[in-house]
DNA sequence: TCGAAGATTAGCT
DNA sequence: GCTAATCTTCGAT
């Protein structure tokens, strides 16, 4: 089991394993360089207060996509993990663009490759992620995951933009990457 | 029904 | 560094 992601593991493990993995939607995307883990027993998680219409997908089978609206403006992309019914997930915060860069430039309206996907809202705009993707399985088109043979070197730190559990170091990044949304220290 | 908060970003000082 | 933009969600009334 070296070149697939085991989404039945806990969110921290999956968040680490995803660093370095390439994710494509209709052939557009790149290498994941930043993730954050969320869990049912986690005050900062959407699933903390139990199932609601919005977070229903988080309580479904692992290996699916959970998409939500952020600040009424942006979309954010998550992968569901742990066993069905648990309510855990991993937020994809940044990717290094490698496939379909021109397509992403069109959708974002910016030239600088560093600004295409360095943030959860930005990468969703670049990859065309909307509510329509909510609940879709990751092992079927339009999704494609390409897991590298060897494990990427990761760094970790506190999560961004939350007001609860602010000290939990469940933000992970590819060491030395210049495509993360904010530097690690 | 009402209202407050939010896993963000871009643009300006 | 600070703040406006923008609107859905959910718990409380």
Cβ(A167)–Cβ(A160) below 8 Å: no
Cβ(A120)–Cβ(A69) below 8 Å: no
Indicate whether A1 pLDDT > 80. Answer: no
Quickly give A137 CA vs C13 C1' distance in Å.
39
* H or E, element range at A31: strand A28-38
Quickly give A80 CA vs B9 C1' distance in Å.
25
Q: Across-strand partners of A118?
A: A94
Report pLDDT for A185: 87
- SS3 call for A73: coil
- Identify protein residues whose C-beta is within 7 angstroms of any atom in strand B: A 36, 38, 44-47, 58, 69-74, 76, 78, 89, 91, 108, 110, 115, 119-122, 159-164, 181
Quickly give A119 CA vs B5 C1' distance in Å.
21
- SS3 call for A79: strand
pLDDT tens digits, A160-179: 999 999 999 999 999 999 99
The mean pLDDT value for A33-41 works out to 97
Query: Considering chain A, what percentage of its residues have pLDDT values greater than 90?
Result: 96
Quickly give A141 CA vs C1 C1' distance in Å.
43
Q: Which nucleotide is nearest to A69 (CA to C1')?
A: C8
To the question of domain A11-174 being in CATH 3.40.50.920, the answer is: no
Strand bridging mode A28-38 / A65-70 = unpaired
Report pLDDT for A2: 58
- Mean predicted lDDT score pLDDT of chain A: 96
Report pLDDT for A71: 96
Peptide bond into A53 cis (omega under 30): no
pLDDT tens digits, A65-101: 999 999 999 999 999 999 999 999 999 999 999 999 9
A71 touches strand C (CB under 7 A): yes
The whole-angstrom separation of Cα A104 and Cα A123 is 9
Tokens 């977070």 locate to A55
DSSP letter for each residue of A81-102? ESSTTS-EEEEEEEEEEEE-HH
Report pLDDT for A150: 87
Q: Which nucleotide is nearest to A124 (CA to C1')?
A: B8
- If we measure between CA atoms, which residue out of A82, A77, A60 comes closest to residue A11? A82
Quickly give A165 CA vs C9 C1' distance in Å.
21
């Amino acid at each position: 089991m070296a070149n697939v992601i085991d989404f039945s593991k806990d969110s921290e493990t999956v968040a680490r394993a995803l660093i370095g993995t390439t994710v494509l939607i209709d052939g557009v995307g790149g290498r994941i360089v930043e993730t954050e883990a969320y869990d049912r027993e986690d005050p900062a998680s959407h699933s903390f207060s139990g199932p609601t219409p919005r977070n229903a997908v988080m309580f479904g089978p692992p290996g699916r996509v959970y998409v939500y609206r952020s600040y009424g403006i942006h979309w954010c992309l998550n992968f569901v993990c742990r066993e069905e019914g648990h309510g855990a997930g991993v937020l994809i915060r940044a990717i290094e663009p490698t496939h379909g860069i021109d397509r992403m430039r069109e959708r974002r309206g910016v030239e600088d490759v560093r600004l295409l996907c360095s943030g959860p809202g930005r990468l969703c705009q670049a990859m065309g992620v909307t509510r329509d993707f909510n609940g879709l399985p990751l092992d079927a088109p339009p999704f494609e995951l390409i897991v590298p043979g060897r494990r990427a070197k990761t760094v970790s730190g506190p999560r961004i933009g939350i007001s609860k559990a602010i000290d939990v170091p469940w933000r992970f990044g590819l060491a030395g990457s210049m495509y993360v949304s904010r530097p690690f220290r």
